[in-house]
Amino acid sequence: MNIYDNILTKLKSRIIQLDSLDEWLFVTVNTMRAIIDNSCKEDVSVVLKATELDSTDQIQQLFDTIQGRYGRDGFSYRNAPSYYYLSSLVARFPKTQLSGGDHDKIREYYEHDIFLLYEV
């Protein structure tokens, strides 16, 4: 089972917090990409700014910035329960320092083009 399927199974049981940094990175990157893909596809590479950041709290700030810029008028899931749920999971992760391997995973997860937002 791949990471997407593992996380999707967990999310369908409505967990309130993600267990691992890998899961959190996947959910965060996947949700940021879904927000931008849904509202302004040509800007989707903005998500890769996460590879330049050093901690989860900095990525949470990037997530908030993306929500503010792309999660408004053109975003059709703005009021969807799945959007609120995924956003809460992003917000509920402790501050953690990132390594080079984590940045590699961000790049890998960025390439995933099936979005949890539409499945949860």
- Yes or no: say if 12 and 95 are a contact pair by the CB < 8 Å rule: no
- pLDDT 10s digits, 67-117: 999 998 789 999 899 999 999 999 999 999 999 999 999 999 999 999 999
Backbone angles phi, psi at 97, to 5 degrees: -75, 145
Looking at residue 50, what is its pLDDT? 98
Looking at residue 1, what is its pLDDT? 59
- pLDDT 10s digits, 7-47: 999 999 999 999 899 999 999 999 999 999 999 999 999 99
Q: What is the DSSP annotation of 64-104?
A: HHHHHHHSSTT-TTTT-HHHHHHHHHHHTS---B--HHHHH
Alpha-carbon gap, residue 36 to 64, rounded angstroms: 12
Alpha-carbon gap, residue 12 to 8, rounded angstroms: 6
Alpha-carbon gap, residue 63 to 113, rounded angstroms: 18
Looking at residue 72, what is its pLDDT? 86
Domain ranges of the chain: 3-118
Looking at residue 73, what is its pLDDT? 79
